[in-house]
Every structure is written in C-alpha cells, then in structure tokens.
Chains A and B, each alone.
Chain A
C-alpha cells in the first residue's frame, strides 16, 4: 500500500475508512478534538452525534447487531470514556463486536491526575477482549487493524483504543496493513472431525433432543446452517433471548424460549430432553435456574467458538469447539446421513412438545377498562408479521412480553440487552439499528423506567433522520422490580412508583420534535400502533397499561423449572389468551 504523511487523528479516520465503516456514534471533547477536527476536514464515515456517550455506545451496539458488522463509538477522555463503560460491559456480556475509540490526555500528562484524565484501559480491562493505550502515532494503523480483527473474530466482543491527544497530533507515514500481527490471538478456525462425528451420533440417536440456541449462532452467521441441521434431524429448536431470530419462530420446529420467563412448554422440553445441544449458548443462570436441577437427564453436546464456555457451568459430554458455521454445516450433513441410514426422527417427541404447548399456552387475564401489557406486544406482532421489522427492547417485564409474543422471522431482527440487562438500551440500540437497516421499520418496545434512562437520544433520532417507533409499555412502575417485591418481598413496595403524571411522554416526544401519541383505551391501541408504524417518523406511543400486571410464567431466581409459578385465573378476571 502506498503511504502518505498524515497526523494520528487522520490515521484513525483513514483506518476506519479502510475497514469500510459507514457510520460511527459519538460525542466530542477536549482529548479527542484533533480527531473531530480531522472529521471536519472530510471523511466518508458518517458521524452520528449522540446526546450521551452511553447512547453512542448502545447505538454502535444496535448497529453491530442489526448489520453483523463491527460497531464504532467515539468519545473524549475522562467522563466521555467512563460513560462508555456500560455499553462496553453490555457488549462484553452479549458478545457484540464493538470498537471504542477514546481520547486520552497528552502522554506527558498521563499519571498526573490531569484534567479529564482517567485510566480507561484500566477501568475496562475486565470487560474488553483487548485494549490499547497508543503510545506512538506510528502504531495507529496496526492497532486499528488489530482492533477490528479481534472485535469480530472468534467470539465477538468489545475492544478499546485509547489515544492520547499528542498522539493524535503527531505525524506518521500512513499505510493500512493487510494483515494483523497477533501471534497470541488464534481463535479456532477448524472443527475436529471426530467431535463432529460423535456429536452427530449422539444427536441422531436421541429420542428427545433439543437444540438450545444462543446468540453465538447469530454472531457466527450460522442461522442457515442451523435451519439445515434442525430440518435434517427433525429436532426441536429453543432460542434464548440472545438467540431470538436465529431460527424462524413461525417454523414448525421452533418451540419457544427457555428460562425464567420462558413458556412452560419450552422449559418442559429443555428439562425433559435426553440430549441437549447447546449451540452458541452459555448456560446462563436466567436460562438454567438452579444449575444442579437443570436438564437432569440430558447428555450435553456443546458447540461454541469459545473453548472457555465449554464445561464452564455444565459439563459437556461432547464438546465441539470451533466456528459454528462450519460445525453446523458438517453436523447437518452428518445427521442427515444418519437419518437416511435409518436413525428415526423424534416425531413422538415433537408431538409431545406440541401437546405441552396446547396444554400450557401463554395466558393472561383481562380486566374491563384496562389495557393488558401483553396485548400491546400481541397487537404489535399481528401488525408487523411478515414485515421487515427490527425490534429492540429495554429491560424488565416489557422485554419478557416482547420475547413471548413477538415472533422473529429473521436473524438480527430482535435486539435486546441479555447478559447485562441494561435499562436504557432500547432507544439508542434502535437508532443504531436504523442506521444499519434504513429500509426496515425499527421498533423499540420500552418500559417507562428504561425510557427515562436514555430518552434524550430521541433528539438524535429526529435530527439525524434515524426514525424509530417507541412503543412505551407504561405501567407507571419499575415493573419487574415491583413484581419481585410483590412476589418475594411480602408486597412491600419500595421506591418503584414512577407515576404517570411526570413526565407526559407524548409531550416530551413532541418537545424533541418527534410525534407523541397517548393511548388510554384499548380500542385506541391498534389504530395508534398502525399510525405509528406507518408514519416514517420518530414516534412515541405511550400506552397506559395495567400497572399491576405480572409476567408469567416465572421460575424464581435460583429455583428449578419444577418450581415454575404459573399465571392463575383469579375471580372476576377472564383468560384472554
């Protein structure tokens, strides 16, 4: 590659351009000003100005998860960098490929407690795949190349590049390397054929198999291969919150979602299976509940690109380490061959789970005059079925109802904070998703608590022309916490009431230049949602739902699936679904 003499700040932008990055999300400040000045001189990378660095980080995450590309967030030193900590932690937990670029105080000031100095590489060390404090402008091209490579190879995740101001100002001969020089970074690229054969044998021989599919499958771009495997083996698929969309949820082999608020039929299948095939999933405690009681009779086949996930929590009988795309493709072929040779498909088992689904459907009550929150996600589902829609969520009850009632047809169409459970994720993630998928309708199903953590980004959505539809499941409470207090803390409500008086969400939306719609009556709901979905503008639909509704079924934290608490019909309340 030919080289030219440029400043470090330019080198950062030329590197992003060389990586083909179309958009980054950030906020300027002292230590990153040379790089923002370089943007003013021109770059092909669009910069979306967020209103809070946490928003910028979640936008980059939403962009990454909707597009499958690496997301880029940029911030200044000190408070700008610390505001990125939550998105970095979130990206770490949910394996989202993210490159965060932060300004740092001048090299000569590092260690002196200079203005806005903060050891951000130190603070983030436990939550990044890798990080660099760039000490010489000449390192920038190689560091940027490595940053992108590490963020997206092996198990995806966040990396941080911290660049002191004087390094951004210093000159270098710029040439973007073609290759990385990382002798210690060798994620597996192959799958062991013996492991594949053994896994296929176990799967094909199972009477009651379950494919327990996590977000790793989406990250590995292996959803087509998963479909082929499930169909070849006629094996039921259960997708986690992170894996939602990895398998078409209207497909006859899809059987719901596992864990704390998963439907009973899904958890019955998970816990009564004889072979549990974990595909890019990690036995999270919100999925397993009490680990010792989880899927007690199952032989575990565990497929993951990250060897450290295998046998971390549940010992794997058949470990398969390697890229899921290859592993699933080979397994589909092998299992298909074994079926053809006569290994019977588990038709009776599929039948059984379908019966459980009939017998124990998701249910909720109806009270005259109040809108049930489940109705909001149900109607959203019927209005968007078959459409090109990307859904993001906040964290809480509404997130679980979104999981239960929205059927994702495609990978990368459901984006939610799983591992960290970050309230406030939904709105900025939706904006990032819209930047990735401008032709799609992007809907954020949010809670009133979550909304108030990042609603200032409505300004970003409006001004940057990244329209999103926020459907606010407004129960005037920190609902999920309220539910726990009511169920497990003797009903003592402690600091969970948000009120419906403050703020007026529709007027707040209008103040941001968005459209605000308030829905108080059930018959207003569908027209309001229809209108919002058709407007092509940023809209907040504030739906006043039943403030007392609880999310069921529920397996209490640390309990086993047999301890599942189900919705019960109470007097005067009729079952609606």
Chain B
C-alpha cells in the first residue's frame, strides 16, 4: 500500500540526511520525496511517499519520530488530505499537432512555459494522478524530458482527525 507521510523538521544541517539514512539502513524504500520551507521560520516540511505494509508504516513513523530534529510525523490519509505535485514536461510537437497538445494541457489547467520549433514545454500542477494521466496522453507525441517535484500535501481545512493518531497513543 502507498502512504504519504508528512514530516516537519527543524531546519538543521543533516536533518534530511538523517531521515534518508534511516530509511536506507532499515531497508525502507522511498517512492518520492519533497522538501521545502513551511509557515514557521526555521522549520521545513518533508513529504515522503512510501510503499509498504501497515506494520512497516508504523515502524517508519516511530523511527522517524525518534530523530532529534523531527518535530512531527503525520500520515496524510487519502480523503482527509489535499495533495499536489508540479510537473514540467517537454513534448515533441510538430506545428500541425501543437494545437491538439495545447488544448489537452488546458484541460488539465496546464500552462505553456516554452515553445520551440518542434517541441513544447508544459507546466502542470495537480494531484499526482492527474499528472500521470497527462503524461500518458503526451506519450504518443513523444516525451523528451520530464521532471516532477514529488508530492506535497497537508490535511484538509475541514479535517477533524487528530494530527497523528498513532503517535498520539504512544506519547
């Protein structure tokens, strides 16, 4: 099962490395990872996507929680969280097929970032699943390059769940 974990950390040297080292050492795999600042100065948020069983997820949460720079660990539960990702994709596009591509991108609220003689660079923001769909649709045209930021997310404004149900029981 895929899970998204949101980790807030003190912005200290090595804070990210300690998390990734722990994953490597304990044999946990990371599907995607995104890091950036938060509303609090000196605090960063790391969003991790992992593919593991429930038991392993609990282990991962507890092990992350033990790291000294980690302030909070939360699972972003589907339905109770919003998740977004940014993708930049360069697609082959002969002039005659360009209009079709651009209108497909528009359907996904994508933007044209750059136009070349035989290619277009699109920017897309959406749920990771939306980005997957757009990627699929671009495939027949020829995808030359693609980068994605990895997903980020937070609990919904209407969420009533405690921040971290499992860890709340522990501490």
Contacts and interface: CB of A to CB of B under 8 A. Distances in A.
Interface string B41-66: 00000000000000100110011011
Contacts of B63: 308
B86 to A, nearest CB: 28
A529 to B, nearest CB: 43
A184 B170 contact: no
What is the interface residue range for chain B against chain A?
20 to 34
A188 B169 CA distance: 11
Interface string B3-36: 0000001100110011001101100000000000
A306 B68 CA distance: 13
B7 to A, nearest CB: 10
Interface string B61-95: 01101111111000000000000000000000000
Chain B interface, DSSP helix/strand/loop, else mixed: helix
A184 B67 contact: yes
A122 B55 CA distance: 29
Chain A interface, DSSP helix/strand/loop, else mixed: loop
A188 B170 contact: yes
A186 B70 CA distance: 10
A47 interface: no
Contacts of A183: 10, 71
A377 interface: no
Nearest to B10: A184
Contact of A308 (B10, B13, B62): B62
A154 B65 CA distance: 13
B171 interface: yes
B62 A184 contact: no
A217 B24 CA distance: 30
B159 to A, nearest CB: 23
Interface of A: 121-122, 125-126, 129-131, 133, 135, 150, 154, 182-186, 188, 306-308, 311-312, 315, 321
27 contacts: A121-B14, A122-B17, A125-B17, A125-B18, A125-B21, A126-B22, A126-B24, A126-B25, A129-B66, A129-B68, A130-B67, A131-B14, A150-B68, A154-B66, A182-B68, A184-B70, A184-B71, A186-B171, A188-B170, A306-B66, A307-B62, A307-B65, A307-B170, A307-B171, A308-B63, A312-B59, A321-B171
Interface of B: 9-10, 13-14, 17-18, 21-22, 24-25, 55, 58-59, 62-63, 65-71, 167, 170-171
